[in-house]
Amino acid sequence: MSVGIVGVGSYLPHKILTNFDLEKMVDTSNEWIRTRTGISERRIVDDDVNISDIAVEAAKKALLNAGLEIKDIDLIILATCSPEMVMPSTSCLVQKKLGAKTIPAFDMLAGCTGLIYAITTGAQFIETGMYKKVLVIGADALSRHLDWTDRATCVLFGDGAGAVVLGEVEDGYGILSNYLAATGAGAELLRIPAGGSGMPATEESFEKKLHCIQMSGGEVFKFASRALPQATKAVLKRANLTLADVKYIIPHQANIRILETAAKKLGVDFNKLIKNIDKYGNTSTASIAIALDELQRANKIHEGDILLLVGFGAGLTWGANVIKWGGNKKNR
């Protein structure tokens, strides 16, 4: 059975935080941020908005794009780095808000690679015949985990959500290959130390800002610059394809210089890599789906196009999917 993306949608908060706004908050400048990251602005959720809220909005758009209703979905997988709470899972909160009643739902915690892991996982349920339609969502509000006095991290992240609906497609279309990898040896390079069972939240942890993102920027940059081209080559090899066959590479949007370095290592035209980091910053698990949705809405993806989705993030994790677009068997 061939499994592909039959619907896609995204949601971005209305509040915009620009580099010029950050100049008033922390010792930084628009030029410093833009030249080092490629980011000009990012979206931030309002205080009364939660992860489940933005995930639901993205999910509704993906369902509409697929021509489906929530009653047609058999499983929900939500990838996130900023779950609403330790328990229950954010996916169950989303399930309730979507009115999905009793269908199974679970969270996928794989850093910013979460959407790639979730798509790969969701596809297996369809290929085995257990389910027919799987809703995969990537949603994050890492603004809630930022130290707004740390200019090395607070300038990087934005909030948002993206979703895809997986379903059966015609033979020869859909997901052609997957690649997943991880190395816990790099776990300390990108983490939020406090808030889990290993370091429960205390007054001391709050004062030390251990509930905020800690990142070894230089080491993460080196890792991502290796991981992106490695995953790209590995997933193409599994699909018996070359970079020349790929219409677009849709990478996780973390830093424009990572993408530039990866493009050089791969020997591809930089324009082949889709980029929207200037508008949204690093939206973590949502970034790939947001970029995919924008491509589709701009009518830049056509039947038979080969797309390569590639992510990297905390864990450390990395991975990729190769997808032949189209072949949708609507509502099958």
Which of helix, strand or coil describes residue 321? strand
Tally Cβ neighbours within 10 Å of residue 147: 16
The alpha-helical segments, DSSP class H, found in 133-255 are: 203-207, 217-238
Per-residue pLDDT of the chain (332 residues; tens, 9 = 90+): 899 999 999 999 999 999 999 999 999 999 999 999 999 999 999 999 999 999 999 999 999 999 999 999 999 999 999 999 999 999 999 999 999 989 999 999 999 999 999 999 999 999 999 999 999 999 999 999 999 999 999 999 999 999 999 999 999 999 999 999 999 999 999 999 998 889 998 999 989 999 999 999 999 999 999 999 999 999 999 999 999 999 999 999 999 999 999 999 999 999 999 999 999 999 999 999 999 999 999 999 999 999 999 999 999 999 999 999 998 866 44
Q: How far apart are CA 34 and CA 57, in angstroms?
A: 29
Question: Which residues is 110 bridged to in the sheet?
Answer: 112
Of the candidates 214, 291, 231, 283, the one whose C-alpha atom is nearest the C-alpha of residue 255 is 283
The CATH number for 312's domain is 3.40.47.10
Residue numbers of the domain that contains 324: 1-332
CA atoms within 13 A on the CB side of 60: 11
Residues tagged active-site? 112, 252, 282
CB 42 within 8 A of CB 158: yes
CB 229 within 8 A of CB 294: no
| DSSP label at residue 66 | H
CB 189 within 8 A of CB 28: no
Of the candidates 281, 254, 257, the one whose C-alpha atom is nearest the C-alpha of residue 17 is 281
pTM for the whole thing?
0.96
Question: Considering its fold, how many domains does the chain have in total?
Answer: 1
